[in-house]
């Protein structure tokens, strides 16, 4: 039976465990990012058009359920990705030191930031919003902290949408295209310079999204995160800068 080969070298890079983890990683990844795009492209503009009563009902019944799938899909994506990383890097240190390293570590930098934004910013702030909404549905007053919490969650959610474009590029790039940029020893040039530039670009956007540079309404946040269409456009610009400057100019070995 051909499927039995899944048990050959089960725990190795070429084995079945990495393959099953890869499958579950992408499956949970589409559940996570699918809901992220639903929140940003469908729910937010639709809720802006609902009456306050209808919006509160929808938060209570729809958003609450969606957030369960959203945060646990994010956790499952991370755990399966982490399992793959463990298998590859314990099998061979080349995975991080050769051309695959800068590619997957760039993807993981954005993926792990997105996970942190889900669990440490979006979810706690949405709990404040939904608790306040439920108080209102029961005839009480809104929590004065609700608008501030909604804004914090919204900025982190837009940052995740923005990062997702670059994140997914490097997830798929690692096994399918990054090798074309390497030399005969599977190595790249100027790796340290590349990491410094990527970290600076990452820190700038995440610090803005958290309100650490000029507050939640900083000029960058208003320009890039207020309108979801602009988030998509600037998300592609950001990917282009990281990819073309990073890979075509800095890392490319030949």
Q: Which stretch binds ligand HEM (CB under 6 A): 57-65, 81-89, 130-138, 236-244?
A: 81-89
- Note whether 111 binds ligand HEM by CB under 6 A: yes
- Note whether 85 binds ligand HEM by CB under 6 A: yes
| Angstrom distance (rounded) from CA 204 to CA 196 | 12
Are the C-beta atoms of residues 99 and 186 closer than 8 Å to each other? yes
- Note whether 17 binds ligand HEM by CB under 6 A: no
- Note whether 224 binds ligand HEM by CB under 6 A: no
- Exactly one of 171, 182, 205, 251 binds ligand HEM (CB under 6 A); that residue is 171
Length of the chain: 254
CB of 137 to ligand HEM, least distance (A): 33
Q: Which stretch binds ligand HEM (CB under 6 A): 1-9, 173-181, 198-206, 241-249?
A: 173-181
Dihedral sign (CA 205, 175, 74, 79)? negative
- Note whether 25 binds ligand HEM by CB under 6 A: yes
| Angstrom distance (rounded) from CA 198 to CA 143 | 39
The tokens of 193 are what?
């310079």
- Note whether 73 binds ligand HEM by CB under 6 A: no
> Whose Cβ is closer to ligand HEM: residue 114's or residue 133's?
114
> Whose Cβ is closer to ligand HEM: residue 78's or residue 194's?
78
- Exactly one of 39, 70, 78, 202 binds ligand HEM (CB under 6 A); that residue is 78
- Buried b / exposed e along 213-244 (16+ C-beta atoms within 10 A): beebebebbeebbeebeebbebbeebbeebee
- Tokens 């295209």, residue? 177
What are the two backbone dihedrals, phi and then psi, of residue 186, each rounded to the nearest 5 degrees? 65, 30
| Angstrom distance (rounded) from CA 104 to CA 107 | 5
What number of chain residues touch ligand HEM (CB under 6 A)? 26
- Exactly one of 104, 122, 129, 156 binds ligand HEM (CB under 6 A); that residue is 104
Are the C-beta atoms of residues 182 and 64 closer than 8 Å to each other? no
Q: Which stretch binds ligand HEM (CB under 6 A): 77-85, 194-202, 209-217, 238-246?
A: 77-85
């Amino acid at each position: 039976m051909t499927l039995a080969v899944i048990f050959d070298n089960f725990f190795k890079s070429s084995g079945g465990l990495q393959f099953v983890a890869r499958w579950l990683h992408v499956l949970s990844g589409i559940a996570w990012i699918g809901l992220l795009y639903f929140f940003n492209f469908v729910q937010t503009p639709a809720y802006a058009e609902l009456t306050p009563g209808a919006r509160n009902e929808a938060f209570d019944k729809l958003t609450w359920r969606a957030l369960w799938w959203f945060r646990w899909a994010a956790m499952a994506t991370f755990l399966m990705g982490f399992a793959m990383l463990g298998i590859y890097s314990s099998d061979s240190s080349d995975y991080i030191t050769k051309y695959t390293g800068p590619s997957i570590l760039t993807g993981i930098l954005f993926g792990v930031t997105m996970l942190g934004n889900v669990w440490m910013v979006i979810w706690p702030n949405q709990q404040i919003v939904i608790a306040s909404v439920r108080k209102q549905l029961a005839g009480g007053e809104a929590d004065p902290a609700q608008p501030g919490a909604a804004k914090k969650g919204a900025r982190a959610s837009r940052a995740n949408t923005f990062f997702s474009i670059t994140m997914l590029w490097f997830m798929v790039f690692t096994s399918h295209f990054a090798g074309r940029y390497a030399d005969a020893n599977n190595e790249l040039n100027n790796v340290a310079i590349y990491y410094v530039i990527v970290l600076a670009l990452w820190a700038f956007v995440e610090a803005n999204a958290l309100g650490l540079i000029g507050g939640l309404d900083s000029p960058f946040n208003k320009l890039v995160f207020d309108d979801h269409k602009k988030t998509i456009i600037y998300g592609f610009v950001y990917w282009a800068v990281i990819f073309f400057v990073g890979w075509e100019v800095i890392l490319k070995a030949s």
